[in-house]
């Protein structure tokens, strides 16, 4: 698959002339006003020479030199003429007000008019870029010679900031991007759990009239997502969003010359620190990274059989004892002479591990192509042989730029820079996919670290005055970005060619330029990975963003989607329009519901998990109806569950929240019916008692209806007592028995009948003993 740069040479060659001419105007104004002596220099450019007179051929402009540094920021902003003109005019006015320029308002107005005219007539007004470059370069040379040093530095800083500040409206663009990201994330946050997670809730829906489908909604990745957990991160893994990862690489096992780990204490602490349990609970794969940053040590290891044997024994011990599901090999430098030995080592490792675990994942780290040394290493590897052994290649594109350089730019530039032969993600993948490795085996790696350089000024392309310093994302957010507004001329910007954010900040004598990844840059790179169908993305240094969710949101919004998994389908009771469930259907449902009400813990799905059909507090009748609507339950009676043990367990379990809520709805209905029945029976019992009293009083003890009404009253009393007990048994708001109890209460059903029977016997005994007792007759 061919990967081509996004911008063509023609698009680089086109720009707006007025911006360059404006530079000439500004520099001329500086030269004319900063130093009286310099005002007489013959190199000053009179305004008449800036008239639209010469022809121009942009096609012969050089890609090298100072003028291209100036033009470079504008190659992406040709549609922002009006705003840029206004910003430059404001700069001139500010410099004038501060005393850095002695330009009156008439001069500013003249410049503005010239800009308007040049903008309208730019197609006819053309100069060669070579002459403009020479004039501007000479102007700055003279400025260095004639003006005080602090003033020169101030002018350079402010002009450099304007140049990069005109590249974009970063704050507006970032805000718009953030809003779009949050819109995508809103649906994901309703699901929360990834596919395979034991915490996933189960749902039900009825298809047609009689098919019940049990399913789960879960989060699924568009591609494989690897995260690198460094040993120094400690327990920061507790802040990881494991639902957005497919694999976590534990970094790791520092290879020693004898094949054993050089850091046994660190490795043991990481493996036993709880992260593996968290991965298992989340259903994610854990790989152990084996790394070496020493070329001599790597070479020695690859050529010593004894060291490799010790290594293989140790690795198999770790895989077996900790349940590891993958091994990742990263030897930073493999000498060309060791290429064959490396291939043999990988083949032996694959063979040994396959015997243990056929599905064990084997990944190999390979360098990004940023210089001839990287290209030499990549060219020396025997990819035709390795491709059959390796599942994925972790392309270390997070190291395209490093701290040990004085060329400020992103750690992971996305596109090649035609003016500077530095590496890029696109260029690296083009090299590897050009007949070496299938692109679906290559994993793009990015970093949550930025690099800051000390700078002399902010002119695009300026070299740093010292080496770079790595800064974690959370430090950038906590300490550096809040200072943007505190320094005069600080600029937060974005380079669309590198797909990276930058920040120019500091004070004269202590200027800094920081390049880092933010949500916008990562979104572009993730989308590039998807568009080019690479094997996955990797993130170096999870935990460097501790306390901030922006970078996790970039993963979710660009690489995660919602998937539905069907668990099973079963036939269900159907309730067609105009028909009712049969009497025996209700009896069966009721019999099962009575048994469910007596269970202490009603599990949802596999009882080995911790999900229960339980509410604290239990919902009211209105809340149950809201849950019914929320889970799209048409009828509580269409979601019964037979009271039986879950497969291969000793526990009873429901299948879904729909069944749980339906069970609550039916319990509530039973409690309501029993409560109403108890009230009606007590009223009838009272009426019967009054009737018996009045009848006996009127007709005497031998009243014919006395016995009949007495037996009816006993029956109603027993039924009312049973109704009260069943009301309490089915009510989830009575916590000492039945459905709302935390105790096993199936025996309460027998207690209800026992109390009822005993009550009947006692009442009958009292009546009969009174009837047949000895009496003193006259």
Q: Tokens 């396959």 — which residue?
A: 354
ω before 457 within 30° of 0 (cis)?
A: no
Taking the chain, what is the end-to-end CA distance rounded to the nearest angstrom?
121
Identify the three-state secondary structure at position 474: helix
- What six digits make up the tokens of 284? 């994610």
Q: Is the pLDDT of residue 604 over 60?
A: yes
Q: How many CB atoms lie within 10 A of CB 644?
A: 10
- Are 158 and 502 a contacting pair, CB within 8 Å? no
The confidence band for 479, taking pLDDT boundaries of 50, 70 and 90, is: confident
| Average pLDDT, integer, range 462-481 | 91
Percent helix, strand and coil across the chain, each to the nearest 5: 50, 15, 35
Domain ranges of the chain: 9-167, 175-562, 583-771
In sequence order, which residues have a C-beta less than 8 Å from that of residue 645 and are 6 or more positions away?
Answer: 651, 652
| Local structure of residue 258 (DSSP, 8 states) | T
C-alpha to C-alpha distance for 695 and 702, rounded to whole angstroms: 10
Q: Which helix (H) or strand (E) holds 330?
A: strand 326-331
pLDDT of residue 598: 75
The 10 Å Cβ neighbour count of residue 332 is: 15
Pull the structure tokens for residue 469: 């310093």
Q: Which residues share a beta bridge with 227?
A: 248, 539
745 compared with 236, residue with greater pLDDT: 236
* Burial class for 322, CB neighbours closer than 10 Å (0-12, 13-18, 19+): middle
What pLDDT is recorded for position 636? 83
- Which conformational region is residue 700 in: left (phi greater than 0), alpha (psi within -120 to 50 degrees), or beta? left
Give which of 144, 67, 165, 736 is closest to 502, Cα–Cα: 165
Q: Mean pLDDT throughout 735-741?
A: 68
Report residue 208's pLDDT band, with 50, 70 and 90 as the boundaries. Answer: low
Q: How confident is the model at residue 444 (pLDDT cuts 50, 70, 90)?
A: very high
- pLDDT for position 157: 58
Phi first, then psi: give them for residue 216, nearest 5 degrees: -130, 135
Q: What is the pLDDT of residue 189?
A: 74
Give the pLDDT band of residue 214 (cuts 50, 70, 90). Answer: confident
State both tokens at 475.
Answer: 């430090």
What's 476's DSSP letter?
I
Condensed to tens digits (0 to 9), the pLDDT of residues 92-113 reads 556 555 555 555 555 555 555 5
**Cβ atoms of 493 and 170 closer than 8 Å:** yes
The residue ranking higher by pLDDT, 664 or 647, is: 664
Q: How confident is the model at residue 296 (pLDDT cuts 50, 70, 90)?
A: very high
Task: Determine the Cα–Cα distance for residues 544 and 542; give it in Å rounded to an integer.
Answer: 6
Alpha helices in 35-104 (DSSP H): 36-39, 66-71, 81-97
Interatomic CA distance for residues 62 and 419, integer angstroms: 10
Q: What percent of the chain has pLDDT over 90?
A: 32
Quick one: 574 exposed, middle or buried, by C-beta within 10 A (0-12, 13-18, 19+)? Answer: middle
Size of the chain, expressed as the number of residues it contains: 778
Long-range contacts for 259-267 (Cβ within 8 Å, ≥24 apart)?
Answer: 259/301, 259/304, 259/306, 259/307, 259/308, 259/309, 259/310, 259/311, 259/312, 259/314, 260/310, 260/311, 260/314, 261/314, 263/231, 266/231, 267/231
Average pLDDT score over residue span 478-500: 78
Of the candidates 466, 463, 376, 450, the residue with the CA atom closest to the CA atom of residue 411: 450
Record: fold of 175-562: TIM Barrel (3.20.20)
pTM score, two decimals?
Answer: 0.61
pLDDT for 99: 53
Query: What is residue 747's predicted lDDT score, i.e. its pLDDT?
Result: 56
Instruction: Print the SS3 string covering 560-587.
Output: EEEEEEEEEEEECCCCCCCCCCCHHHHH
Arithmetic mean of pLDDT over the chain:
76
């Amino acid at each position: 698959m061919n990967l081509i740069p996004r911008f063509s040479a023609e698009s680089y060659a086109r720009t707006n002339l007025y911006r360059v001419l404006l530079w000439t105007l500004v520099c001329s104004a500086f030269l004319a006003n900063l130093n009286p002596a310099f005002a007489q220099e013959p190199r000053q450019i009179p305004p008449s020479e800036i008239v639209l007179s010469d022809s121009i051929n942009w096609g012969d402009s050089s890609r090298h030199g100072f003028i291209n540094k100036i033009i470079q920021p504008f190659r992406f902003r040709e549609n922002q003429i009006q705003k840029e003109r206004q910003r430059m005019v404001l700069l001139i006015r500010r410099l004038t007000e501060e005393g850095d320029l002695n330009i009156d308002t008439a001069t500013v107005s003249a410049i503005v008019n010239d800009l308007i005219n040049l903008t309208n007539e730019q197609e006819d007004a053309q100069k060669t870029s070579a002459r403009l470059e020479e004039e501007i370069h000479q102007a700055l040379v003279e400025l260095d010679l004639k003006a005080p040093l602090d003033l020169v530095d101030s002018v350079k800083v402010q002009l450099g900031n304007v140049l990069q500040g005109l590249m974009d409206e970063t704050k507006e663009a970032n805000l718009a991007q953030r809003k779009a990201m949050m819109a995508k994330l809103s649906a994901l946050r309703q699901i929360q759990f990834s596919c395979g997670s034991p915490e996933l809730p189960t749902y039900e829906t009825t298809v047609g009239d009689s098919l019940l489908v049990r399913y789960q909604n879960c989060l699924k990745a568009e591609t494989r997502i690897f995260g690198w957990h460094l040993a120094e991160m400690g327990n920061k893994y507790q802040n990881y969003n494991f639902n957005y990862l497919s694999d976590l690489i534990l970094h790791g096992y520092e290879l020693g010359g004898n094949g054993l780990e050089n850091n046994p204490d660190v490795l043991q602490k990481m493996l036993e620190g709880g992260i593996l349990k968290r991965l298992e609970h989340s259903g994610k794969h854990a790989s152990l990274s084996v790394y070496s940053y020493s070329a001599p040590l790597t070479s020695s290891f690859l050529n010593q059989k004894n060291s490799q044997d010790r290594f293989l024994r140790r690795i198999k011990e770790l895989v077996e004892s900790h349940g590891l599901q993958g091994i990742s090999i990263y030897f930073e430098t493999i000498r060309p002479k060791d290429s064959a030995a490396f291939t043999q080592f990988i083949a032996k490792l694959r063979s040994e591990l396959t015997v243990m675990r056929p599905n064990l994942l084997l990944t190999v780290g390979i360098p990004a192509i940023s210089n001839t040394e990287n290209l030499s290493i990549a060219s020396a590897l025997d990819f035709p042989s390795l491709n059959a052994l390796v599942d994925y290649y972790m392309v270390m594109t997070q190291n395209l730029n490093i701290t040990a350089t004085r060329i400020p730019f992103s750690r992971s530039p996305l596109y090649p820079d035609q003016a500077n032969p530095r590496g890029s993600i696109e260029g690296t993948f083009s090299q590897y996919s050009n007949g070496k490795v299938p692109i679906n085996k290559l994993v793009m790696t990015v970093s949550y670290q930025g690099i800051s350089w000390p700078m002399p000024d902010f002119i695009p392309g300026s070299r740093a005055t010292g080496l770079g310093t790595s800064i974690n994302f959370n430090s950038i957010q906590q300490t550096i970005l809040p200072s943007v507004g505190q320094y005069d001329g600080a600029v937060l910007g974005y380079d669309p060619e590198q797909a990276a954010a930058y920040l120019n900040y500091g004070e004269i004598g202590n200027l800094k330029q920081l390049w880092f990844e933010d949500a916008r840059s990562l979104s572009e790179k993730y989308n590039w990975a998807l568009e080019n169908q690479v094997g996955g993305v990797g993130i170096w240094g999870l935990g460097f963003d501790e306390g901030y969710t922006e970078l996790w949101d970039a993963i979710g919004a660009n690489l995660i989607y919602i998937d539905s998994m069907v668990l099973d389908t079963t036939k269900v009771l159907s309730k067609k329009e105009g028909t009712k469930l049969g009497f025996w259907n209700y009896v069966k449902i009721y019999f099962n519901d009575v048994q469910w009400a007596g269970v202490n813990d009603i599990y949802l799905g596999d009882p080995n998990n911790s999900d229960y059909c339980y509410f604290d507090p239990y919902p009211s009748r209105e809340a149950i109806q809201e849950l019914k609507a929320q889970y799209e339950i048409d009828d509580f009676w269409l979601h019964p569950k037979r009271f039986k043990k879950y497969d291969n367990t000793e526990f009873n379990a429901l299948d879904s929240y729909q069944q749980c809520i339906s069970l609550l709805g039916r319990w509530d209905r039973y409690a309501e019916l029993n409560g109403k029945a108890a009230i009606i029976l007590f009223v009838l019992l009272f009426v019967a008692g009054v009737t018996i009293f009045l009848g006996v009083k009127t007709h005497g003890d031998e009243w014919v209806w006395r016995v009949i009404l007495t037996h009816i009253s006993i029956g109603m009393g027993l039924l009312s007592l049973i109704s009260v007990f069943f009301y309490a048994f089915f009510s989830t708001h009575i916590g000492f028995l039945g459905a709302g109890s935390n105790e096993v209460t199936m025996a309460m059903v027998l207690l209800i009948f026992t109390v009822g029977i005993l009550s009947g016997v006692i009442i009958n005994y009292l009546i009969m003993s009174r009837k047949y007792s000895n009496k003193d007759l006259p």
